[in-house]
A and B are shown apart, each in its own frame.
Chain A
Amino acid sequence: MIKLERASLRYGAVLGLSPTSFELPEGGGIVGLLGPNGAGKSTLLQLLSGLLPPSGGSVEVFGQAPYRNPAVLAQIGLVPEGDRLPVGLKGRGWLRMMGRLSGLDGAPLEAAMAKALDTVGMAERADLPFPRMSMGKRQRMRLAQALMHAPKLLILDEPFNGLDPEARLTLMALLRELADGGTRVLVSSHILSEVAQLTDRILLLFRGRLLAEGGISEIRQLLDRHPVELRLSGEARALARWAVEQPELVALALEESAAVLSIRNPRDFLPRLQKEAAKGGLPLTGLDPLDLNLEAVFQYLTKDHA
């Protein structure tokens, strides 16, 4: 279905995507494209959805280059990042236009539009102008336009940004349903837990490079090898005495009323810390993770891979 062979993309002097190769076979299921902001996720999605041609190498989707290729574009649905919709139009009229631009007309168009609106739960509210819809509803309309022509490949770029928790869960359920129905769904995100809720198949991108490809457990193991810094507030010396007995400890620094720990496998360490504090065995008054962000983890992984 998707095949990249040393595909790269430059924005002038800036390298958006280093030569990257991978393959995704035909069939349904969800693939998560994970990486911090600026990792090259959107660039990769733009290559796959035919918006941009590769600067080097080759990109094939359904066996053909997707750039300005109607035969490929007819099988792709794209939900771009951001809350962007044309000004001055109403949902249903816009969807009708997008359907016509996909070659639908007459009764099949109306049926496809009704089905797409029903799928995203917007059948009753599609006649509103876009500014009168909530962000979640606008996101559903964007999804509806991508579903109208029943694409075999659905590409979503950071679809959960700005959505409230309820809208997020609804969208996740919808994507799972589509994937179960045979649609290949490719979702980009910079939040690991978000992708982990959706799929166990991940492509890990960082600074324009494909770092890893695999299941969520393999990626988690990679992430667990990254030492995490935690500041434990309370009686520093007592906390330090307990910490040095823990196998995950990598480094320790004492401050006036806190101990700064560098630990591996935080998912093993933190429950034990919590249990000990709950028993009253630790004079702990506060816990601050200092670098538990994806950027730090990715930087670690890059060094690790180098």
Chain B
Amino acid sequence: MSAVTPFQTARALAAGYAPRVLQPRGWVLAALVLAPVGLVLAISAVAAMQGHSLSPGVTLTVFHTILAKATLPIMALIAASAGIREDLEQRTLPLLLTRPAAVWAMPLGKGLPWFAWGAIWLTAASLGLQILGGDPGLLMGRIGALVGAWWGELAFVALFGLVFKRGTLWAALWLFGWENLVAVFPPLLQRLTFTHYIESLAGSRGHSVSATELLAQAQVSTDPWLALAILFLAGLGLWLACGWKLHSTPVGLAGVEAEG
């Protein structure tokens, strides 16, 4: 019997853990994405019945304020804790580590079902925004922005979960703290946020910067294709970093490291 390739390792874990997404945690993820869009669609339908219409800006608000800034990080925090971190906490990791498989491909393999499941619902939510009156020319950009950022943020939280004891907490602080400072960041730091690439792909947040935000910096933009490539490569790099961390850390039966 020969060693298992990284591709075989990732495929085996993805297929093995795929049923997990159809369990309550998976449906919570789906609800997190669909609930805000569904709610606004329902309000829009009621308003239409009464002869009113919602502001065209509501699509932008739902996308930028709810889906990109709140839903995506919450999804990443929920899904990543069911990733390889779960095996570490539940001490089932030794069962995987004693296989002749590529250890560094394991975090990616366990994250793939969650990524695919989230991507389906994020695409559905983007299509729902079209019904609300989203710009058809930006549909692909919105889907790319949400799915690309989901790929990156999921890997980001997974890495924090492997590197730090309270990794989920630190990742939450980053996603809800650092990301929200994008309006006051200089150009270089703007490029170190997921928000920058989401906006480069799906349209500007410029309209939302009000006069009260005295520290607001000039918004910089990145070419959409380049932004998508950066999100994909950043996510891939983060998954590989997860794999490197797992590969280089001795993990025993008690889930603690020995001084190797």
Contact = CB atoms under 8 A, between A and B. Distances in A.
Nearest to A77: B98
A87 B86 contact: yes
A81 B4 contact: no
Given A11-B259, A49-B98, A78-B95, A101 B13 contact: yes
A256 B96 CA distance: 60
A51 B97 contact: yes
B15 A100 contact: yes
A94 B259 CA distance: 31
Interface in A1-59: 9-12, 16, 42-43, 45-46, 49-55
B157 interface: no
B90 A145 contact: no
Interface string B234-260: 000000000000010011111010111
A80 to B, nearest CB: 5
Interface in B196-243: none
A45 B254 CA distance: 12
B9 interface: yes
Contacts of A42: 252-254
A73 B100 CA distance: 5
A265 interface: no
B100 A145 contact: no
Interface in A93-147: 93-94, 96-98, 100-105, 142, 145
B103 interface: yes
A55 B260 contact: yes
Contact of B4 (A9, A52, A103, A157): A103
B4 A101 contact: yes
Interface in B180-201: none
Contact of A74 (B13, B95, B100, B260): B100
A188 to B, nearest CB: 11
Nearest to B20: A88
A78 B94 contact: yes
A84 interface: yes
A98 B101 CA distance: 10
B195 to A, nearest CB: 33
Given A55-B259, A89-B16, A89-B20, A101 B253 contact: no
A189 to B, nearest CB: 15
Contact of B253 (A68, A76, A81, A86): A81
Interface residues of A, number: 49
Contact of A84 (B9, B92, B252): B92
A149 interface: yes
Nearest to A90: B19
Contacts of B256: 11
Nearest to A42: B253
A88 B81 CA distance: 14
B20 A96 contact: no
Contacts of B97: 50-51
B1 A74 contact: yes
Interface in B1-39: 1-4, 8-9, 11-13, 15-17, 19-20, 23
Interface residues of B, number: 39
A82 interface: yes
A85 interface: yes
B105 to A, nearest CB: 10
Contacts of A78: 94-95, 98
A51 B250 contact: yes
B179 interface: no
A253 B200 CA distance: 88
A50 B98 contact: yes
Contacts of B4: 70, 100-103
A70 B252 contact: no
Nearest to B5: A103
Contacts of A88: 19-20, 23
Contacts of A93: 16, 19
A41 to B, nearest CB: 11
Contacts of A105: 8
A70 B101 contact: yes
A290 interface: no
A101 B258 contact: no
A145 B20 CA distance: 20
Nearest to A46: B252
Given A73-B98, A97-B12, 11 more contacts: A46-B94, A55-B260, A74-B100, A80-B91, A84-B95, A96-B15, A96-B16, A102-B101, A103-B4, A105-B8, A145-B95
Interface of A: 9-12, 16, 42-43, 45-46, 49-55, 67-68, 70-71, 73-74, 76, 78, 80-82, 84-90, 93-94, 96-98, 100-105, 142, 145, 149, 157
Sort A-B residue pairs by CB-CB distance and give the 5 closest, nearest first. A97-B16, A100-B12, A70-B100, A70-B3, A101-B99
27 contacts: A11-B259, A42-B254, A46-B252, A49-B98, A52-B260, A53-B250, A55-B258, A70-B2, A71-B3, A71-B100, A80-B91, A84-B92, A86-B87, A86-B90, A86-B92, A86-B95, A88-B19, A89-B16, A90-B19, A93-B16, A97-B17, A100-B4, A100-B8, A101-B4, A101-B96, A101-B99, A103-B8
